[in-house]
Amino acid sequence: MIDAPRIIQLLMELRGQGITDTRVLSAIEMTPREQFVPEAFADRAYENIPLPIAQGQTISQPYIVAYMTQLLEVGPRAKVLEIGTGSGYQAAVLARLCRRVYTVDRYRSLVQEAQRRFQALDLHNITTRTGDGMKGWPEQAPFDRIIVTAAGREVPAALVEQLAEGGVLVAPLEEKPGEQVMVRLRRTPEGIARERLIPVRFVPLLPGVAEERQV
């Protein structure tokens, strides 16, 4: 069960922070974040803070998930690619708003755990894969929307190539060491339009499939 008073408080806080898209707010409301965090943090799941997950990664702050989801302008027919499955929380929120989510992580164990959560929540429109998301998912391209939830120096070229006409891509970029900014790219008939948005803090986007740390 979602903890009603706490989620309502979180939704009000998100509204106050500029999340005005009611579809985004209701997708957050329908997604039990406590099922995506380690048990030790379940009681903090509705605080507006990032939390640690396995493999030294993090589940983003609810505000950042809501903000990126709003920036993506996802419609019900959209085919969405996410790089950085992590806990699966962002993918679960997106799955409420679009036709299908393809999500990739470089840690097999994170992908397996996320997939288990999607099944438990009856989310059947999410397809997962373990791999290097910097290469995108060429077999399924093009994508109407692409979201990257780890910070690289630049948006990987393969992802820009796999973005459909009229498509939107949202990603954090580490422009200088320690300085990250959210960017939104849009494929227009004239080329790629780029917006620089707010400063952010994400774990790094790293190449290749990860060596699993012993547990």
Residues annotated as part of the active site: 60
Closer Cβ to ligand SAH, 75 or 204, answer by number: 204
User: What's the min distance (Å) between Cβ of 188 and ligand SAH?
Assistant: 27
Interface segment toward ligand SAH; rule CB under 6 A; list 13-21, 23-31, 85-93, 171-179: 85-93
Question: Is 58 among the residues that bind ligand SAH (CB under 6 A)?
Answer: yes
DSSP tag of 20: -
Report the alpha-carbon distance of residue 134 to residue 7 in Å, rounded. Answer: 34
Query: Hey, what are 163's tokens?
Result: 């973005």
Pairing of strands 51-52, 58-59: antiparallel
- The answer to whether the CB of 164 falls within 8 A of the CB of 143 is yes
- Closest alpha carbon to 65 in 11, 116, 118, 131: 11
Pairing of strands 79-83, 100-105: parallel
Give the one residue of 32, 62, 133, 136 binding ligand SAH; rule: CB under 6 A.
Answer: 133
DSSP tag of 151: B
Question: Is 83 among the residues that bind ligand SAH (CB under 6 A)?
Answer: yes
Q: Interaction with ligand SAH in 196-215: which residues (CB under 6 A)?
A: 203, 205-207
Give the footprint of ligand SAH on this chain (CB under 6 A).
Answer: 57-60, 83-84, 86-87, 89-90, 104-107, 110, 132-134, 149-150, 203, 205-207
